[in-house]
Amino acid sequence: DQVIRLTDYRPTDFQLATVDMRVQLFAEHADVLTVLQLERRAGAPATADLVLDGDELALVSLALDGTPVDPSQYDATPQGLTIRGLPESGSFTLAIETRLQPQLNTQLMGLYRSGGVWCTQCEAEGFRRITYFLDRPDVLATYRVRVEADKAEAPVLLSNGNPAEHGLLDGGRHFAVWDDPFPKPSYLFALVAGDLDRLGDHFTTMSGRRVALDIYTEKGRAHEALYAMDALKRSMVWDEQRFGREYDLDVFSIVAISDFNMGAMENKGLNVFNHKYVLLDSETATDGDYAGVETVIAHEYFHNWTGNRITCRDWFQLCLKEGLTVYRDQEFSADERSAAVKRIASVRGLTAHQFPEDQGPLQHPVRPSEYREISNFYTATIYDKGAELVRMIATIVGQAGFRAGMDLYFARHDGDAATIEDFLACFVEATGADLTQFALWYSQAGTPVLKVEERFDADRGELTLTLGQHLAQGPAGTGTLPMHIPVRFGLVGANGQDLVPAPRDGAPVEGDVIHLRDAETTIVFEGLGERPYLSILRDFSAAVALRTSQRERDRLALARLDGNPFNRWRALSDLVGEALQAATIDARGGNPVRLNPAIAEALIATALDETLEPALRAQALSLPSEADIARLLGENVDPDAIHIARDAVVTAIGRQGEKRFAPLFAGLARQGAFSPDADSAGRRALASVLLDFLLAASGTPDRAVQQFRTADNMTEQFAALTMLCHRFPEDDATRDALAAFYSRFETNALVIDKWFSLQATVPSPSALATVRALTAHPAFRLANPNRARALIGAFAAGNQIGFNRADGAGYAFVAEMIQALDELNPQVAARIATAFRSWRCFDSGRREKARAALAQLSEMKGLSTDVKDIVERSLR
Ligand code: DPP
Ligand code: ZN
């Protein structure tokens, strides 16, 4: 396999102006005629061949300006089409015919069928599975697409852009023509045909244009798209108000599909979604699902400007659209819901998913410099760390400066395929900031450690801070130079008010931000009448691993007093994290697990604090997960000890708080009808964590059984079922509840995914046997990505003690499933394989078993590039 390098980038020799397609869909095949209007680029060699990408294609015919091309003039293979002797100057047309078999396409890239519906997925390199093409993001063209199909089988025919024509054909067939006036790269192409229901609505843009909004679903389910439609309209308003971005076509459509590799896809004017992120109602979806739909709808919609109108020059620039668009969807959620709670949730996600990636063998910079398989780079680093870099830019240049830079970016690069350098230059020009050093964040992989030490001199009233940064050399082998780290901070007085900081002249401090640029910096704050509590890295202003020398009583004070809700949460979370690490060491030594009652008391006080919104209290009470604790411990990890320790800590907190948690829990019971709004969801989240403590304290499942039986919504019902499965896996009540749940929701695939996933994550050594048995369940389908992820993915990534069994059987099973899945769908198989990324942090016995499973996998014959790439990098 070839390694693709950023430094090898060069533009194509041929320029593409227009693409005219006719796609004829039949039961057993599809015929695709693509007419390209091309011209040799000025300055390109006069003899250069035209080399088009292909992937498993079969060429039917090829014509140049209407005349069949002589076979001696081209080479066609499934992987590409090379044409020689093309005109030296002037534009010409190439007509390429291919024949596809969408019904056999299990990779779900290119044109495929899902539940009878024809649909496409082209990002990153799926268009080359439809026709031979210059399949790269810097080749932009306008598209006109004619789709033909049997009218009864596919009454709905969609492609990008605006509808142009439609009509009847002989033999019960019909056609529709779509015109997309905005030049786009091929990865944004989409086509959908099928018998679908439609939820219709409209939106009037800020300049008064009317846009038709349509969400297509499988038959009988359009009403489940109402919340998605509402989220779409709110996203459209928000992008106008926050970024001045207006929608540009006459229609915006979303199609919900049940077999989909990713969450959703931002094709121009025709988003195709995993139905998980469209369909929901209160009986079948949790509050988390509602938040997920809102976020993904917003994310894909926001791509219309950050990704589509301005796209990426090459795939190395993926974070240009993804990091920026995640930042935008995070800001949207912060505005629509609670900013503090959203920030906590985002940072928890980052530390749980991106940190292990950045600290393990799959480490790569936010802008990689090489790859073997681009599908493997749709990662937490590109997306979530990418978003953090955008947030850091906003912190460095300020909110007004950030908006000015974004305005310049939109004005200057509309219609371009841009780079990170283009993006950064806009902020430099709009604000005068120097981002030279900051740019290292894009090329240096790894999580920098930020070390903060404080010393207070009471006589002089001076607080001295020493900040140091260190970036270790990791497997990516990128640089380790000091970076520009914006550190937001506050000095909290004894009454909880922020003191006004007076840094000594010349200190790199601007307002509430310290600009750390050196490996180490010392800053003195003067004129302090009392020793303040240092609230550092407020709102997680940089993607670093923070190490402080802060004492327990300072953290307890901050957990009570800090005016910054994020840091108030983190003070508590750090205390609990340390307690859990200590508890794990106790458990491993076979000693009783101890918990400082003062820490439990701080948690209980937070739970009872009516001045805090319930969602924030719920976050504070949701302890670090077993995987979080493993990451904090870092090496020689024994997941069984972690499980015992965490459980003991939860029980200790539950017992200490029981008498106060019970009335609080009862008081959170809802009056009136169910509502998915953020406040109501927050109350449910708090009730749910309280219930878990109460169950741990009581040791009986009664409260959960009761809630499972009486809940009128999925959030409460599934929370109860989860606690039953996790706390009382062997209880008859749990078995009955699982069976009742299955039979009630048997026909709803998304709910049945939850049922699979829940059993896969039961923290018990017997989980492996359950999961193995479930692979033979009649409802299990390895070929359906959601189902494969629900069972195999959830077990590998979400069951610490099951996957990391000391006997290695968890690793062996997952490796076996990856191999089976790879034959159907390499992309999804490779994604599941990333669960091995933290294998080196375990004890030596587990390490050897994991290494053996990976090594065996890497030697399998016929392994896809996707899985091979992940496995080989994991072993490095
Ligand atoms: N559809 C994926 C996303 O929006 C990839 N572009 O992130
Ligand atoms: Zn995206």
Q: Which residue CA neighbors atom 5 of ligand 1 most closely? A: 265
The string of pLDDT tens digits covering residues 11-57 is 999 999 999 999 999 999 999 999 999 999 999 999 999 999 999 99
pLDDT of residue 633: 98
Residue 349 alpha carbon to ligand 2 centre in Å = 16
The mean per-residue pLDDT over the stretch 292-320 comes to: 99
What pLDDT is stored for residue 183 in this prediction? Answer: 98
Token couple for 417? 């395929």
Distance 329 CA to ligand 2 centre (A): 10
- Between CA 524 and CA 544 the distance in angstroms is 22
AA identity, residue 636: N
Average pLDDT over residues 61-83: 98
**Does the bond joining 411 to the residue before it have cis omega, within 30 degrees of 0?**
no
Q: Provide mean pLDDT across the span 817-829.
A: 98
Residue 319 has pLDDT above 80, yes or no: yes
Q: Which residue has its alpha carbon closest to ligand 1 atom 3?
A: 265
287 with 715: CB under 8 angstroms? yes
In testing the pocket of ligand 1, which one of 266, 299, 312, 317 has its CB within 8 Å of the most ligand atoms?
Answer: 266
Question: Average pLDDT over the chain, rounded to whole?
Answer: 98
Residue 1 has pLDDT above 90, yes or no: no
Instruction: For residue 349, report the distance from its CA to the centre of ligand 1, in Å.
Output: 18
**What is the pLDDT averaged over residues 62-71?**
98
C-beta of residue 811 within 8 angstroms of C-beta of residue 780:
no
Ligand nearest the Cα of residue 124 is 1
Instruction: Answer yes or no: is the C-beta of 358 below 6 A from any ligand 1 atom.
Output: no
Q: Which among 123, 266, 300, 454 is annotated as catalytic?
A: 300
Instruction: Please work out whether the CB of residue 647 comes within 6 Å of at least one atom of ligand 1.
Output: no
Per residue, the 3-state secondary structure of 700-733, as one string, reads CCHHHHHHHHHCCCHHHHHHHHHHHHHHCCCCHH
- ipTM for the predicted complex comes to 0.98
C-beta separation of 419 from 315 below 8 A = no
Atom of ligand 1 nearest to the CA of 378: 5
Helix axes 626-633, 639-667, angle to 10 degrees: 130
End-to-end CA distance of the chain: 17
For the beta carbon of residue 508, count every other beta carbon within 10 angstroms: 16
- For residue 297, the Cα-to-chain-centroid distance in whole angstroms is 13
Do 4-195 and 452-538 come out as alike in CATH topology? yes
pLDDT above 90 as % of the chain: 99
Nearest Cα neighbor of 590 from 636, 640, 635, 632 is 640
Q: Which CATH architecture has domain 452-538?
A: Sandwich (2.60)
Question: What are the sequence ranges of the domains in the chain?
Answer: 4-195, 311-443, 452-538, 550-699, 746-876
Question: H helices within 285-338, ranges in order?
Answer: 287-302, 318-336
DSSP code, position 791: I
| CATH class of the domain comprising 550-699 | mainly alpha
User: CATH fold of 746-876, please?
Assistant: Zincin-like fold (1.25.50)
CATH assignment of 4-195? 2.60.40.1730
Q: Whose CA is nearest to atom 6 of ligand 1?
A: 265
Q: Is 265 in the pocket of ligand 1 (CB under 6 A)?
A: yes
> Of 597, 686, 584, which Cα lies nearest the Cα of 637?
584
Pairing of strands 191-194, 117-121: antiparallel
| Residues forming beta bridges with residue 64, ordered by sequence position | 67, 94
Average pLDDT over residues 152-177: 98
Angle made by CA atoms 831, 330, 480, in degrees to the nearest 5: 65
What are the two backbone dihedrals, phi and then psi, of residue 521, each rounded to the nearest 5 degrees?
Answer: -140, 140
Residue 755 has pLDDT above 80, yes or no: yes
- What is residue 765's predicted lDDT score, i.e. its pLDDT? 85
Are the C-beta atoms of 761 and 794 separated by less than 8 Å? yes
Structure tokens, 98: 């291919």
For tokens 């369940």, what's the residue?
A: 777
- pLDDT tens per residue, range 582-625: 999 999 999 999 999 999 999 999 999 999 999 999 999 999 99
Are 239 and 302 contacting, i.e. CB atoms less than 8 angstroms apart?
A: yes
Q: Decide whether any atom of ligand 1 lies within 6 Å of the 312 Cβ.
A: no
CA 321 to ligand 1: nearest atom: 6
pLDDT interval class at 419 (50, 70, 90): very high
Two structure tokens written together for 146: 């004619």
Which residue from 108, 120, 121, 123 has its CB within 8 A of the most atoms of ligand 1, so it is best to mutate?
Answer: 123
Task: Answer whether residue 646 shows pLDDT above 80.
Answer: yes
Predicted confidence band at 153 (pLDDT cuts at 50, 70, 90)?
Answer: very high
311-312 vs 417-418, strand pairing mode? parallel
Q: 807 CA distance to ligand 1 centroid (A)?
A: 38
Question: pLDDT tens for residues 669-704?
Answer: 998 999 999 999 999 999 999 999 999 999 999 999
Q: Is 300 a catalytic residue?
A: yes
Q: Ligand 2 centre and the CA of 582: distance in Å?
A: 39
Amino acid residing at 510: E
Q: What are phi and psi of 865, to 5 degrees?
A: -60, -35
Query: How far is Cα 170 from Cα 177, in angstroms, rounded to an integer?
Result: 17
- Of 183, 445, 141, which is closest to residue 319 (Cα–Cα)? 445
CATH architecture of residue range(s) 311-443: Orthogonal Bundle (1.10)
